[in-house]
A and B are shown apart, each in its own frame.
Chain A
C-alpha cells in the first residue's frame, strides 16, 4: 500500500515553477532571433562577414548570453521534472539529476566562452 509521506521537506515548488515560466518567456522572446538570422543567411541577404559583425556586437552577445542561460535553466527544470516523475528510486534519481546538472553547466560555460571569445 502506498504510504502518506510527510509534507514540507522537499524544496520550494514555487521557485522551480517561477524559473520555469520566466525562462519560457525569455525563450519566447529571444529564440526567434537566431532563426531570423538563419533565414537571412539562407536567403542570401546576409554574408559571412555581415553575420559575424552582428554576432560580435555587444548587444548580440548580451542577448545571446541571456538566451543560452534561459535555455539551460528551462531544459534543466523540464528534464528534472521528468526524472522526478519517472525515476522513483533515489539511488538513480539523485545521481541522474546531478549528472544532468554537471553536463548542462559544462555546456553553458563552453557556450558562454565561445560568445565572449575566451576560446
Chain B
C-alpha cells in the first residue's frame, strides 16, 4: 500500500452558501518528485470533482496556481510534497476575495498591473527595423522580466493588505521598475510621476515579505528601492 499524504484544503462555494471550512483528504504518494499540484489533481480526478483551483502549465510558467501552502505563498506545481509538514494546509492567496474554493478574484491585481502601463512607450520615430539594445542594457532587465504575475508577493505584503486600494504592491512595482530601467523606453519621467504620490509606491515599508514569497526568486524590494533612488536622483 502506497504511503499516504494528508491534506487540509480550504473549501468555500458562495453560490451554495454555508461557511468556509477546511476539508481533509488523503492522497497516495505517487512518485518521489511529486508536487502539491499532483495531489490537488488526484483529489479532483479521483476523490472529489467539485474541488476548484486554477492551473495551466504545471511548470511554474503561467502563474495561475499561486496558493497559500502551510502559511507560505507559492506555486502548487513547483512545490514538492516532500518537505511539507502534514497535514498540508492549502488555502487561497491571503486577503483576496474567494470566488470558489482556491480560486480568487484577480481583477484588482491586474488592474494595478495595467496602471503602470506595462508596454514600451516611445516618442522618437519608429526605426526601420527593431529598437536595438546593448547586451549590457538588456542584462539590466534580468530579475524583472521573469515575473509571471502569480501574485504570491503582492498578496503576502502587509502594506497591500492594509492599503491595497492605493498601494500598487510589489508585483506591479517590479514591472514599473522593469520599464523604468529599460533603455529603449522613453516615458521614464511619466512613469516616475505616476508613482511619486504618498501611496502607490511609498507605502512599501521594506518588510520584505514579497521577496520571501516569490517562487521565481525575484526581489521586488530591490526594484522598489531602485524606483525610490531614481525619484531622489531626479529631485537632486
C-alpha spacing A14/B195, complex, angstroms: 9
Query: What's the least CB distance linking A51 to chain B, in Å?
Result: 39
Are B163 and A85 within 8 A (Cβ)?
yes
Q: Tell me if B123 counts as interface (CB < 8 A to partner A).
A: no
Interface size on B, residues (CB 8 A): 28
- A4 with B111: in contact, given A10-B197, A13-B196, A13-B197 (CB under 8 Å)? yes
Is B201 an interface position by the 8 A CB rule?
Answer: yes
Asked if B162 and A13 sit within 8 Å, CB to CB, the answer is no
Structural contact, B199 and A13, CB atoms closer than 8 A: yes
CB-based contact B105/A5 at 8 Å: no
CA of A86 to CA of B115, assembled, Å: 24
Interchain CB contact under 8 A, A7 and B165 = no
Q: A17 near B115 (CB under 8 angstroms)?
A: no
Number of interface residues of A (CB under 8 A): 21
**C-alpha gap A86/B200 in the complex (Å):** 16
User: What is the total of A-B residue contacts with beta carbons within 8 Å?
Assistant: 62
Q: Which of B56-64, B128-136, B228-236 contacts A (4 or more CB under 8 A)?
A: B228-236
Nearest CB of B to A25, in Å? 14
* B164, B165, B202 interface centre (most CB from chain A within 10 Å): B202
Q: Is A90 an interface residue (CB 8 A)?
A: no
Chain A residues whose CB sits within 8 angstroms of the CB of B111 once the complex forms: 4
CB-CB under 8 A from A13, the residues of chain B are 195-202
B202 touches A8 (CB 8 A): no
17 A–B contacts, CB within 8 A, in A order: A2-B165, A4-B108, A5-B166, A10-B166, A11-B197, A12-B196, A13-B198, A13-B199, A13-B201, A13-B202, A14-B228, A14-B231, A14-B232, A17-B228, A18-B235, A85-B162, A86-B162
Question: Which are the 8 A-B pairs with shortest beta-carbon distances?
Answer: A13-B202, A10-B197, A13-B198, A10-B198, A4-B111, A85-B162, A14-B231, A2-B165
